[in-house]
């Protein structure tokens, strides 16, 4: 656990989840909801990268990378909707 990349990945995942929750809890708008979903998918992707870094078997590493690619697919749409709905109101 002393690998600096592992520490950064853990902190990044935690910060993504916390940031999305705090933003959505304090301001329940459409943009903040999409932003919370965006940060949740970023956190999930970060966890898959963490699993890849911690895996010891090549088959397990391949499985984690497959999950990473699948989870990365879901990052783009919430980001686009966040940009579309921010700032509200829209004319």
Question: What is the distance between the alpha carbons of residues 10 and 2, in angstroms, rounded to a whole number?
Answer: 12
CB 78 within 8 A of CB 38: yes
What tens digit of pLDDT does each residue of 42-64 get?
A: 999 999 999 999 999 999 999 99
Alpha helices in 1-91 (DSSP H): 4-26, 30-54, 58-73, 76-85
Question: What is the distance between the alpha carbons of residues 41 and 44, in angstroms, rounded to a whole number?
Answer: 5
Structure confidence at residue 28 (pLDDT): 87
Reported pTM: 0.86
Question: What is the distance between the alpha carbons of residues 88 and 44, in angstroms, rounded to a whole number?
Answer: 27
What phi and psi values does residue 81 have, to the nearest 5 degrees? -65, -35
């Amino acid at each position: 656990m002393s690998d600096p990349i592992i520490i950064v990945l853990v902190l990044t995942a935690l910060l993504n989840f916390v940031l999305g929750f705090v933003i959505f809890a304090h301001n329940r708008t459409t943009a903040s909801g999409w932003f919370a979903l965006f940060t949740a998918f970023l956190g999930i992707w970060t966890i898959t990268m963490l699993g890849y870094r911690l895996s010891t078997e090549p088959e397990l590493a391949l499985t984690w990378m497959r999950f990473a690619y699948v989870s990365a697919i879901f990052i783009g749409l919430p980001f686009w909707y966040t940009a579309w709905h921010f700032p509200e109101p829209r004319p």
